[in-house]
Structure 1
């Protein structure tokens, strides 16, 4: 049975759709992906639909690092009077995920636990030119702890995921509980169905694995705003 984990649309990391999970990729897994992001899925800085792309590497079974770029439009940056238009710049940030506990590590029903962060600091743009964790850059800043447990139901198995997220952003605060359920049907394990609450909105989505390397992901934020992407996954020897 192929094993498929999901890459989050916004952050380019392992997780559900927008909410974190405690699942990890296999050791030495590399993911290259790109996504269309509906403006309803992004921080308020993106008042328009945009795109991102990312590189994600699971350096060790307990450590994952990602580098994600999200595109800016020239009009939003005030560059149109200078002859620029369309997507001309990008926001860049790193994400880090560290597995603290493996599922079933000490007893049968123990959930996996992961500590993670994305865009953990602000480089510029704060008040009076000072660095600030509440505004400026660091648009996708978040810190979280996530737990995941896979529960067998006859021949089937569902994943139950819960996390707590926080940051200090004024424009995009994340301070609350997120939760989700994932399901890979035994008769077609290449398909993964996901329902989640990401501490802000409810979302439904799915991922589908092709040829054991290429997968597509779709999401409906608030069950009506579409985002989607593709990723290529392989493992280093």
Structure 2
């Protein structure tokens, strides 16, 4: 009986803090958006190994990113993400530079328009979001390879959690848009999540991010250390860790 009570308590608590899209440093699925939000006053510090298959073509090599994410209010999340460049890719090799020597920086913003079940019990949560919306390089152009804005995307996402017996699955759908020619994210993205009631710290995720299918999982250890692994196109590994701080 005590074990069931503890598991039930974890199940009620964990779904609100398991969702973190580490590839962008924001809340979400693996590489596709969702309408889930972190708990109010949550801070995330994280870093990832990024397979070259998941990044824009500018990165023809494996790289890393790191980020700071803050949920200021239940309806507002802001992230600052840096992705590393190699000196050789920047043409700095002849000058004696080698390895990771520079980085691309961008902000992400997510605004919750509707809370799940806000007006009626079947209403999904809805979030409006953007990542890397503008660049000051290349005359501000994000529609071609001449400018930065490598991770540019705008989206609207909806999420609904559906109970099935003692279990619960999350259904997620979003529409993404950008104007980049070499890294288009224009179209519908969908995903399914599952937190097993017998071990709610684990979340299994399957998604289509408007370009590729991916499968992965997240795990929350000691309520603070969040790990994520994914297989882009079901074979290319990307993974990372984040540390969560709850200020409220």
Inter-partner Cα distance in structure 2 for 1:39 and 1:48: 5
Inter-partner Cα distance in structure 2 for 1:9 and 1:57: 13
Q: SS at the partner of 2:89?
A: coil
Q: Indicate which of 219, 229, 234 corresponds to 2:230.
A: 219
Matches within 5 A, 1:222-233: 222-233=233-244
| Structure 1 runs, 4 residues or longer, greater than 3 Å off | none
The answer as to whether partners of 1:9 and 1:37 remain within 8 angstroms in 2 is no
Aligned residues: 233
Q: Would you say 1:22 and 2:35 are equivalent positions?
A: yes
Q: Which runs of 5+ in 1 are unaligned?
A: none
The Cα offsets for residues 146-184 of structure 1, whole Å up to 9 and x where unpaired, read as 000000000000000000000000111111000000000
* Residue number in structure 1 paired with 2:72: 59
Inter-partner Cα distance in structure 2 for 1:174 and 1:226: 20
Q: Indicate which of 160, 182, 198 corresponds to 2:209.
A: 198
The Cα offsets for residues 33-82 of structure 1, whole Å up to 9 and x where unpaired, read as 00000000000000000000000000000000000000000000000000
Q: Indicate which of 5, 14, 19 corresponds to 1:6.
A: 19
Q: Would you say 1:106 and 2:115 are equivalent positions?
A: no
Q: SS at the partner of 2:94?
A: helix
Inter-partner Cα distance in structure 2 for 1:10 and 1:43: 12
User: Deviation at 1:234?
Assistant: 1.3
* Residue number in structure 1 paired with 2:142: 133
Normalised by the length of structure 2, the TM-score is 0.93
User: Deviation at 1:215?
Assistant: 1.4
More helix by share: 2
Q: Which runs of 5+ in 2 are unaligned?
A: 1-9
Q: SS at the partner of 1:76?
A: helix
